[in-house]
Amino acid sequence: KAGVTQTPRYLIKTRGQQVTLSCSPISGHRSVSWYQQTPGQGLQFLFEYFSETQRNKGNFPGRFSGRQFSNSRSEMNVSTLELGDSALYLCASSTDWTRLYEQYFGPGTRLTVT
Amino acid sequence: GQNIDQPTEMTATEGAIVQINCTYQTSGFNGLFWYQQHAGEAPTFLSYNVLDGLEEKGRFSSFLSRSKGYSYLLLKELQMKDSASYLCAVREPYNQGGKLIFGQGTELSVKP
pLDDT in tens, B72-106: 999 999 999 999 999 999 998 888 878 889 999 99
How many angstroms separate the CA of residue B32 from the nearest CA in chain A? 10
pLDDT digits (tens, 9 = 90+) for A54-95: 988 999 999 999 999 999 999 999 999 999 999 999 999 988
* CB spacing of B91 vs A104 below 8 angstroms: no
Enclosing H/E stretch for B25: strand B18-25
Of A98, A101, A108, the CB nearest to B48: A101
pLDDT digits (tens, 9 = 90+) for A9-44: 999 999 999 999 999 999 999 999 999 999 888 899
State yes or no: pLDDT of A97 exceeds 70: no
Q: How far apart are CA B39 and CA B109, in angstroms?
A: 12
How many angstroms separate the CA of residue A64 from the nearest CA in chain B? 17
Q: How far is CA B99 from CA A48, A59, B95, in A?
A: 8, 12, 10
Instruction: Using CB atoms within 10 Å of the CB of residue B108, give its burial: 0 to 12 exposed, 13 to 18 middle, 19+ buried.
Output: buried
For the segment B1-17, the average pLDDT, to the nearest whole number, is: 93
Kindly state whether B100 is in contact with chain A, defined as any CB-CB distance less than 8 angstroms: yes
Residue A24 CB-half CA count within 13 A: 9
State yes or no: pLDDT of A101 exceeds 70: no
